[in-house]
Chain A
């Protein structure tokens, strides 16, 4: 990394809230020394190689427990075997969320409780079995009233838990891959191209005659994005792909799993609109680009908040909204 830039960064940070004194604000070397510094030439000039211990560090291949003297470095260390370089950019959607959307959502969802307010006590979500029967002793608790689904708790939104995007999962199922695996290869390449992560393939768990599925045959691929990749994918989706889909009404209002994850589908033609596929569309075999399901995971605990978040980042919804 550029050393002078680091020094500049610490100087500019001094104006803000950060600690002004820092070890990296040490005075720079003289201009003469800087101009003459050439690490590559220096290495070439060296007649004998440096001992490996001076510049090579091999982390242990296996983790042998916390008491072993040879501990692996943390995954964020470039020398770690688990290191994955990132981030490379500061995505626009993330910046918009931080600067605009999060504070607006918090203002929208604010519920006021006057001083001295105490929330009325609620009954337990899982009730004990009460009655004279001796079999009620030590029996697992009863499910919630009115159904056996134990929904996530809905907490009031504060500055700590403003709904945010957590991840996006792309999923595509290509049953034709049972006869010709090329379909699955193409599907995997398309998903990797548009998502920038490696895909996982999935086999049919059991045979379904109606769908023509045979057990154990690989038929589907998924890609799960988080962080920077997720923001870039959603940004492309919202700004480039979705506006170009013909007669697209939006995401159906009833979509969602009632715990803040919302899905929609893209047809094969829509997937081909992604810029990564478009640049070399001809290299994909004709009529093999599959459609896919896009599931957006949010930290909201109900679909209403998740829909509020998604519509604020620019995903339209249509039809009756079910929470």
Chain B
């Protein structure tokens, strides 16, 4: 936020602190510099080299002290010669450098663009080529209120998948086939590297090998080295490729070790082995759409039901000078309460939804006629917690955590066509 007059000053390469000596002049052993500066009568005389005065106060020793300054509006330190920090300059609508009223304002990104240094070769090349004609038509000043769209931000708050997905029948069959091929092609299992000879573990291993005929524990009974090693494909209806069967086989293998002890201990040991947790939860069985413990293999999205009874992602107008990221963070708190640990991913939206009002809304105070609304969706992840609509600021009635295809059933077809491509398949 710098006025056009000061902008020119910015572009000049003159030092902001012309009287301060360069770094090499400030240290002992730079005779050329110190001789020159002594004749000049510099501002920091007596502060350098052997002639440095130890009696001076701390602030007097600092050669830059005279050039640092504080913002006129707050206590922020600003660069020398500047009147306001950027924040106060915005508030007071003043130039940050001279403090005067900012008439010709230049936004931050434009200023960066203006002051960007171009390589001379590249700049020359640019100068030769004619500027491409902009295809964007110049905005015309209408006599009535300015026509515009409501700018809104939406939040696609999602819980990522917690479990690996179920394999397809083809994948199961393929993986089993590859494992059996591996048994055929791999070098034999080096038993003596894993089991000392004639120890109980070794005897146990031999016993198991006799039954399943292969070192691999989860490929069923299959002898890869025997005469019938070619019979590596399972028949129709065989259970060997099923994940549940393989888990059972692995558990049986572990349990068999513990049975080796006394008979009384066997039952105790068996119960000590942790079985894997079920892949479906209670919320799945109950069909509880509010729970975050459902559909653990899928991404779940938060949808809220608004006053009109429509299911949408939580959204709100962008207020004041907020950016999309800040708006998204605010919406999450105002819609779902503070009891959610969330992360808004990045600063850019992942999708947008346009909606034209049936009848335009005219705001005479601002002189704006609103034609419709544009919702830009920000991506967010929930790490912990749960949504709670008690403190909801938007008057939402209900919420749900839904997977992609359930979102399709809940929202309007028009809304769905706008949001479907930003939702993950899984």
A residues neighboring B (CB under 8 Å): 1-6, 8-9, 12-13, 28, 34, 37, 39-40, 43, 55, 78, 83-90, 92, 95-96, 98-100, 103-104, 107-110, 112, 115-116, 118, 120-123, 189, 279-280, 283
Contact = CB atoms under 8 A, between A and B. Distances in A.
A30 B77 CA distance: 86
A88 B178 contact: yes
B301 to A, nearest CB: 13
B165 A95 contact: yes
Contacts of B176: 1
Contact of A100 (B160, B228, B234): B160
B236 A34 contact: yes
A44 to B, nearest CB: 9
A99 B122 contact: no
A309 to B, nearest CB: 14
A78 B241 contact: no
A2 B119 contact: no
Given A85-B181, A87-B178, A121 B122 contact: yes
A112 B228 CA distance: 62
A108 B349 CA distance: 10
Interface in B384-426: 424, 426
B193 A280 contact: yes
Given A85-B181, A90-B164, 13 more contacts: A4-B237, A5-B236, A40-B228, A43-B228, A78-B181, A95-B165, A100-B161, A103-B424, A107-B345, A122-B119, A189-B193, A280-B194, A283-B196
Given A40-B228, A88-B178, A2 B173 contact: yes
Contact of A6 (B160, B169, B182): B169
Interface stretch (B5-13, B68-76, B130-138, B265-273): B130-138
Q: Which of A5, A34, A121, A280 has the most CB of B within 10 A?
A: A5
A83 B185 contact: yes
A84 B179 CA distance: 11
A121 B233 CA distance: 60
Interface string B17-32: 0000000000000000
A85 B118 contact: no
A122 B170 contact: no
Contacts of B165: 90, 95
Given A87-B175, A95-B164, A2 B234 contact: yes
Given A12-B168, A100-B160, A283 B178 contact: no
Interface of B: 118-119, 121-122, 125-126, 132, 134-136, 160-161, 164-165, 167-179, 181-182, 185, 193-196, 228, 230-231, 233-238, 241, 299, 345-346, 348, 350, 379, 381, 424, 426
Nearest to A124: B121
Contacts of B167: 90
15 contacts: A5-B173, A37-B235, A43-B228, A84-B185, A85-B179, A85-B182, A88-B175, A95-B165, A103-B424, A104-B379, A108-B346, A118-B132, A120-B126, A122-B119, A283-B194
Contacts of A115: 135-136
A83 B122 CA distance: 53
Contacts of B135: 115-116
Contact of A3 (B175, B236, B345, B426): B236
Contact of A1 (B126, B174, B185): B174
A107 B343 CA distance: 13
Contacts of B161: 95-96, 99-100
When A and B form their complex, which 4 residue pairs have the shortest distance between CB atoms, in order from nearest?
A: A9-B170, A85-B182, A5-B169, A85-B181
Nearest to B193: A283
Contact of A39 (B164, B231, B345, B426): B231
Contacts of B228: 40, 43
A211 B249 CA distance: 51
A95 B45 CA distance: 67
B233 A1 contact: yes
Contacts of A12: 168-169
Nearest to B178: A85
A60 B424 CA distance: 47
Nearest to A193: B193
Contacts of B348: 107, 110, 112
A275 to B, nearest CB: 13
A116 B131 CA distance: 12
Contacts of B125: 121
Nearest to B182: A85
A267 to B, nearest CB: 23
A209 to B, nearest CB: 37
Nearest to A95: B164
Given A2-B238, A120-B122, A110 B193 contact: no
A175 to B, nearest CB: 25
A109 B118 CA distance: 25
A34 B228 CA distance: 20
A3 B241 CA distance: 12
B98 to A, nearest CB: 31
Contacts of B170: 5-6, 9
Contacts of A5: 169-170, 172-173, 236, 241
A305 to B, nearest CB: 14
Contacts of A86: 178, 182
A25 to B, nearest CB: 12
A39 B171 CA distance: 24
Contacts of A87: 175, 178
B179 A99 contact: no
